[in-house]
Amino acid sequence: MSPTFASSATPLGVSPYAEKTLGDRIDDAIAEARAITDEKGVESRESAVAWDIVEELLSASAHRREKLPKNAFEVYCSEHPEAQEARMYDV
């Protein structure tokens, strides 16, 4: 039998965030940072750390998007830039 935390069924050594998506983790971090800022103040060290965590998660999300492979439509557009579907207009 593997050891577990007293308050949950998560095995030791496994992050409780393992099941959450990055988007969920970002939402949770923002909510926590807002709560800490409200409690401790905008210029507190705890608030700065909480918002640094949010920034790191947002950065990880941006880097993950950069690494995603192109979908079929993006491949088509890059192979056929003259196609009507590939045209982009500034509005």
pLDDT tens readout for residues 16-75: 555 678 889 999 999 999 999 999 999 999 999 999 999 999 998 888 776 767 789 888
What pLDDT is attached to residue 2?
A: 43
pTM of the model: 0.53
**Of 57, 61, 60, 3, residue with least CA distance to 29:** 57
Q: Which residue has the higher pLDDT, 22 or 2?
A: 22
Q: Is 29 exposed, middle or buried (0-12, 13-18, 19+ CB in 10 A)?
A: buried
What pLDDT is attached to residue 31?
A: 97
What is the token pair recorded at 65?
């998007």
Average pLDDT for 3-11:
46
Triad 34, 46, 7: Cα angle to 5°: 80
* Token pair 């009507």 in the structure block, residue: 84
Confidence band (pLDDT; 50, 70, 90) for 86? confident
What pLDDT is attached to residue 62?
A: 85
Rounded CA-CA distance 15/5 in Å is 11
